[in-house]
Chain A
Amino acid sequence: MSELKPRKDLLDIESLSLEEIEYVLENAVPFKQLFQRSVKKVPTLRGKTVLNLFYEPSTRTSSSFEVAANRMSADVTNFTVSASSIVKGESLLDTIETLQAMRSDYIVIRHKAAGVPGIVAQHTRASVLNAGDGYHAHPTQALLDAMTFREVYPDFAGRKVAIVGDILHSRVARSTSTLFHKLGIEVGVLGPGSLIPEGRHDFMTRFRTWDEVFDWGPDAVYLLRVQMERQEGQFFPSIAEYHKMYGMNSDRLVRMRELGAYLMHPGPVNRGVEVTDEAMGYEKSLISTQVENGIAVRMAVLHWLKPETQKD
């Protein structure tokens, strides 16, 4: 029926083929249509268990996976490891042993260290879904972003998206830009020089000001969440200055309207930092669509991945 090879884990975007991306994005559409029914649930994963393992707090992503799993009738266990008891790197293998004993079919994992979902995947028969690892990857976010963009632009190839903010510390920027690039969507970046690394992807066109971005003519502007203080130090002088230089304000909204550009954000939004209250009410904001599509995409991913838990 299909030439696609079954896949056990979803760890990043780089390793996905275009066929796989199309497969998931196309399957996400029927899942989204289920949300229109009075009964939003399907029995597909009845009897399967999903372990939501979050080493970093994230109510949004964790809930989205939970809703997705629930709507497919899977049993969900949420396991949030508090910051104070963060398991040290050395004992990761011990943790995996424990997980293995729980016999989950799917493990959704978020971890502050890049590469951890990959290590877990190597050592377990469960399908591992990377829900964000360090600055590395957030593949389901990228897939939901692509789904959202394709809904408003069925002719997405050759369109342009400007990603604004902290490219250096953003797994969202890495995964989403990689996926957009694979789909033939042009990617530009705007942000302070201290947050736009030299080692970034070649396909990212660098802009220094909003004027440059608007002259480029983006079809959507993707604002990243910005944190001023990081462990490694400070990357820009103040929130006020960031907002002034790179925030989405009313003047910039005027240009957005002129261009007919959509507004995207992975959430949660820092009002008054990357967006003003006014911009939050922008009629072409796709932010809540992204949340809804997040559930559909995650259902499609759960449906796609093939755990090896049935093997024994």
Chain B
Amino acid sequence: MSDPTDITTEEILSPAGIEEAVSLLANEVIRRCGEDKVAFVGIYTRGVTLAHRVAEVLKSRGRDYPVGTLDISLYRDDFDNLGTALPRLESSDVPFALDGTRVILFDEVIFTGRTIRAALDGLMDYGRPSKIELAVLIDRGHREIPIQPDYVGRRVETTLNHYVKVRFQEDDGKEGVFLVTEPVAETNE
């Protein structure tokens, strides 16, 4: 895996930029959700971090939304194509009733949309939310299925040779969003 400091790597969002995008997402949630019963569900790993960050901002503004976690490994449609990778599963944790709740799903990047499709399947096995919306830090385009985010921190123009890398302090020990030009074997989402 190439390092974000590779020659081919370009920082597209600084730590401050991320903070700005997070607060943008928080503002949008307040604006659109009003007094609805809202819960966040983050997709492992960085979607969970993103959900927590947005929830924190909202908490400081007096809105306390629960955050659940979802590991979508078991819902992926590319089980046969994982090659030699052996995925370590995480415990999905949705410790609140979804029925009648407006659920906002969080992921760090949206690309083809397939991860979100798997997440929707997974989420619906936990209950029947009144509404499901999608929040992402980065929308890099190139959808393969008709799924669009409702909340976007930043839109980025990319080609298929690009790889968008989100790094959070909590998960990775560094902070920033990077555009890697060299294609990497791993899928983006």
A6 touches which of B74, B84, B91, B121 (Cβ 8 Å): B84
Does B96 sit at the interface, judged by CB under 8 A? no
Q: Once the chains bind, are A30 and B71 in contact (CB under 8 Å)?
A: yes
Q: Once the chains bind, are A310 and B88 in contact (CB under 8 Å)?
A: no
Q: Once the chains bind, are B86 and A6 in contact (CB under 8 Å)?
A: yes
Known pairs A30-B71, A33-B91; A42 contacts B86 (CB<8 A)? no
Does A26 sit at the interface, judged by CB under 8 A? yes
Q: Once the chains bind, are B85 and A2 in contact (CB under 8 Å)?
A: yes
Q: Once the chains bind, are B79 and A304 in contact (CB under 8 Å)?
A: no
Residues of A close to B91: CB separation below 8 A: 29-30, 33
Known pairs A38-B127, A42-B74, A43-B121; A33 contacts B92 (CB<8 A)? yes
Does A227 sit at the interface, judged by CB under 8 A? no
Q: Which residues, 91 to 127 on B, are CB-close (under 8 Å) to A?
A: 91-93, 121-122, 124-127
> Whole-angstrom distance from the CB of B185 to the nearest CB of chain A?
11
Report Cα–Cα, A260/B92, bound state, in Å: 32
B125 touches which of A1, A37, A300, A303 (Cβ 8 Å): A37
Q: Once the chains bind, are B125 and A42 in contact (CB under 8 Å)?
A: yes
Contact with A along B36-68 (1 / 0, CB 8 A): 000000000000000000000000000000000
Residues of B close to A1: CB separation below 8 A: 85-88
Q: Once the chains bind, are A31 and B89 in contact (CB under 8 Å)?
A: yes
Residues of A close to B121: CB separation below 8 A: 43
Residues of A close to B74: CB separation below 8 A: 42-44, 72, 303
Q: Once the chains bind, are A39 and B87 in contact (CB under 8 Å)?
A: no
**Chain A interface secondary structure, helix, strand, loop or mixed?**
loop
**Chain B interface secondary structure, helix, strand, loop or mixed?**
loop
Q: Once the chains bind, are B79 and A42 in contact (CB under 8 Å)?
A: no
Known pairs A38-B127, A310-B80; A44 contacts B88 (CB<8 A)? no
Report Cα–Cα, A44/B73, bound state, in Å: 8
Q: Which residues, 22 to 56 on A, are CB-close (under 8 Å) to B?
A: 23, 26-27, 29-31, 33, 37-39, 41-45
Does A254 sit at the interface, judged by CB under 8 A? no
Residues of A close to B80: CB separation below 8 A: 310
A44 touches which of B79, B90, B124, B125 (Cβ 8 Å): B79
A23 touches which of B71, B86, B125, B127 (Cβ 8 Å): B86
Residues of B close to A102: CB separation below 8 A: none
Report Cα–Cα, A31/B76, bound state, in Å: 15
> Whole-angstrom distance from the CB of B68 to the nearest CB of chain A?
12
Q: Can you report 29 A-B residue pairs in the complex whose CB atoms are below 8 A from each other?
A: A1-B85, A1-B86, A1-B88, A2-B87, A4-B86, A5-B84, A23-B86, A23-B88, A26-B89, A27-B88, A27-B89, A29-B89, A30-B89, A30-B92, A31-B89, A33-B91, A33-B93, A37-B126, A39-B124, A39-B126, A42-B75, A42-B122, A42-B125, A45-B79, A72-B74, A303-B74, A303-B89, A304-B86, A310-B80
Report, nearest first, the 8 A-B pairs whose CB atoms are least far apart: A39-B125, A42-B74, A30-B89, A44-B74, A27-B89, A30-B91, A2-B86, A4-B86
Chain A interfacial positions (CB closer than 8 Å to B)? 1-2, 4-6, 23, 26-27, 29-31, 33, 37-39, 41-45, 72, 300, 303-304, 310
17 A-B pairs besides A1-B87, A2-B86, A6-B86 with CB distance below 8 A are A2-B85, A2-B88, A6-B84, A26-B89, A27-B88, A27-B89, A29-B91, A30-B89, A33-B93, A38-B125, A38-B127, A39-B125, A42-B75, A44-B73, A44-B74, A45-B79, A304-B86
